[in-house]
Amino acid sequence: MQLSGNTILITGGGSGIGRGLAEELLKLDNEVIIAGRRRETLEATVAANPGMKAIVLDIENETGIREFAAKIATSLPRLNVLVNNAGIMRAERLLEQQEDLADAEAIVRTNLLGPIRLTAALLPHLKEQPHGAIVNVTSGLAYVPLVLTPTYSATKAALHSYTESLRWQLRKTGLEVIELVPPYVQTHLMNGAEDPRAMPLREFIDEVISIWKQQPTPKEICVERVKPLRNATAEGRYDATFNGLSNAMAGEL
């Protein structure tokens, strides 16, 4: 994937990893549009980054996604890169779970159905664009789940699987499909912004961009900090890694 001269849409681009990617890609001479639910967050990010644009999008709303995609394909005819980054992460203590499963269902709608719906809505447009790409942001927890966040981990595993199939089905179109696999990064997701155990956001973004610049672009972008999770099964460490993560959460369950 070329890293300049694109028109890029980033969901969840007002904060965290999405904002970090948006700011760096803007510096690389791309037109960058961020989308998200919170207008005030989007406006603050755009104000801090002249030239960036923002559009409000509720990624949980199926009808809204179709309408959004139709409008953006018309207003941004050169749109050629979609970054499915929007996501929510909530702790779930399954023995105390409410009957309505509101948290679990919101996580599925945002983290899994949202990217699938938006990709489907924009695919007819994207596959006609030069140098097109779809980037799905999963997680190291797609490969080794965190027991405190079972639905989040499950949606990221499902998005990884979807990405694999999407890449294969689009192999003859010229549209690249890339999976970005973050480790635990210092963002406000699950209040991790100040956690010293998490990877500093700036370090994460810098390493991602350095990998992204490789030609050809790797189908998976994995910083060094996420490889213990990503490669746990292949290296025969899955049980030890899962048990280590689970035991670390024992006090919170």
HEC string for the chain? CCCCCCEEEEECCCCHHHHHHHHHHHHCCCEEEEEECCHHHHHHHHHHCCCCEEEECCCCCHHHHHHHHHHHHHHCCCCCEEEECCCCCCCCCHHHCCCCCHHHHHHHHHHHHHHHHHHHHHHHHHCCCCCCEEEEECCHHHCCCCCCCHHHHHHHHHHHHHHHHHHHHCCCCCCEEEEEECCCECCCHHHCCCCCCCECHHHHHHHHHHHHCCCCCCCEEECHHHHHHHCCCCCCCHHHHHHHHHHHCHHHC
Cβ neighbours around 242 below 10 Å, total: 18
Active site residues: 152
CB environment 49-62: b (16+ within 10 A), e (fewer): beebbbbebbbbee
